Amino acid sequence: MRLTESKSSAPFIWCGLATSELAALELARLEDILDDEERARIIRLRAAPQRRDSTVAHGLRRLLLAAFTGQPAHSFRFYRDKSGAKPKAEGLPQIDFSLTHCHGYAAAAAGAFGRIGIDAEPLDRKVEPELVNDKSGTEYETASGTIVAWTLKEALSKAEGSGLALGFSGLNVDINSPRLLAAPASFGNPAGWKLERHCHAGFTIAIAFGPTGAGVRHGLH
Ligand SMILES: CC(C)(COP(=O)(O)OP(=O)(O)OC[C@H]1O[C@@H](n2cnc3c(N)ncnc32)[C@H](O)[C@@H]1OP(=O)(O)O)[C@@H](O)C(=O)NCCC(=O)NCCS
């Protein structure tokens, strides 16, 4: 399995891969560690590539949690407080995690004592600049700048837990030396957030890791 893995000293780990590179046996191994609920959700996905991407992302999430905790990858159970909410793991209040699966890529990230989000998109995906621009008037000059900004903001919104419902206009990010410049109050101090961007197999991948929210939205105490 050719994984891209984190090499930084950040208090989180992540990994991702182009799912078409995965051998059938490796895919079956990841499928084996999923639980019945994950399998049932994945079976309902219409297209085979979607099912493969989702299987890999969910499998990677389990492998990262196993690396973090020393517990067997198959042993974790996940739940959400309500529909559309950020998933949590039973019995792991100090560990946050995130996953992404899209168009042939899957990735997951996990971190301790903080909130984490990951997003991956094809580098050539076109996003309307109006969806990414922020209140400060920052505009991204190129299509690649726009998609990098999109992934950073989506990773932030997944870390925070609101997802796309957050709206991106309140998030101001520096895409060149990735950092959060301004954000809604639910993020706390923008300077406390660590952003990373990576490029792999034709995808741009963004990871956001920041302080636990005041409202302890994700059960991080
Ligand atoms: C989270 C969200 C930004 C993901 O968008 P996406 O680009 O389609 O998908 P990605 O592959 O990058 O990420 C999907 C994963 O994000 C995670 N996720 C879902 N909701 C999340 C949330 N509120 N916060 C953080 N992560 C979330 C899940 O693990 C999901 O994968 P899964 O469904 O296979 O378990 C988007 O689905 C969203 O905004 N969700 C919240 C709002 C919502 O769904 N409302 C519906 C209410 S009925």
pLDDT the model gives residue 128: 87
Q: In what order do the strands lie in the sheet with 115-122?
A: 115-122, 203-210, 194-200
Average pLDDT over residues 36-44: 97
Q: Provide the residue range defining the domain that includes 60.
A: 13-93
Share of the chain above pLDDT 70, in %: 92
Which pLDDT belongs to residue 194? 97
**Which pLDDT value is given to residue 91?**
96
- Assign 109 to helix, strand or coil: strand
Taking every pair of C-alpha atoms in the chain, what is the biggest distance, in angstroms? Answer: 49
Q: What is the pLDDT of residue 218?
A: 41
Q: Taking all residues of the chain, what is their mean pLDDT, rounded to a whole number? A: 91
Find the mean pLDDT for residues 124-151: 85
Of 10-19, 87-96, 178-187, the poorest mean pLDDT is in: 10-19
Q: Where does residue 49 rank: exposed (0-12), middle (13-18), buried (19+ CB within 10 A)?
A: middle
**Last residue in a domain, options 25, 60, 93:** 93
Pairing of strands 203-210, 115-122: antiparallel
- Whether residues 206 and 119 share a domain: the answer is yes
Which atom of ligand 1 has the smallest separation from the CA of 41?
34
List, in order, residues 6 or more apart from 200 with CB less than 8 Å away. 4, 16, 18, 105
56 and 18: one domain? yes
Q: What does the pLDDT read at residue 143?
A: 81
- Last-in-domain residue among 93, 127, 160: 93
More confident position, 118 or 133: 118
- DSSP, collapsed to helix, strand or coil, labels residue 99 as strand
- The pLDDT score that the predictor gives to residue 59 is 98
Is the pLDDT reported for residue 117 higher than 50?
yes
Cβ–ligand 1 distance for 167 under 6 Å, the answer no
Whether 103 is covered by a domain: the verdict is: no
Q: Which of 41, 64, 98, 99 to mutate to test the pocket of ligand 1 (most atoms within 8 A of CB)?
A: 99
Of 142-146, 171-175, 191-195, least confident by mean pLDDT is: 142-146
89 and 128 within one domain: no
Q: Is the CB of 154 inside a 6 Å radius of any atom of ligand 1?
A: yes
The verdict on residue 7 lying in a domain is: no
Number of structural domains in the chain = 2
| pLDDT tens digits, 193-221 | 999 999 999 999 999 999 987 544 443 32
Return the residue whose CA atom lies nearest to atom 34 of ligand 1. 54
What is the model's pTM? 0.93
CATH number at residue 128: 3.90.470.20
- Residue 119: inside a domain: yes
Higher pLDDT, 10 or 37: 37
For residue 178, tell me if it sits in a domain: yes
Classify residue 175 by its DSSP letter: T
C-beta of 163 in contact with ligand 1 (< 6 A):
yes
Task: Name the residue at shortest CA distance from atom 46 of ligand 1.
Answer: 84
Same domain, 135 and 50: no
Which candidate, 96, 38, 34, places its Cα nearest to that of 65?
A: 96
**Whole-angstrom distance, CA of residue 175 vs CA of residue 217:** 27
Dihedral sign from CA coordinates of 14, 17, 19, 21 = negative
Could you tell me if residue 65 is inside a domain? yes
pLDDT, residue 136, reads 74
Q: Is the pLDDT of residue 169 over 60?
A: yes
Domain endpoint, select from 93, 127, 143: 93
Residue 48, H or E segment:
helix 48-69
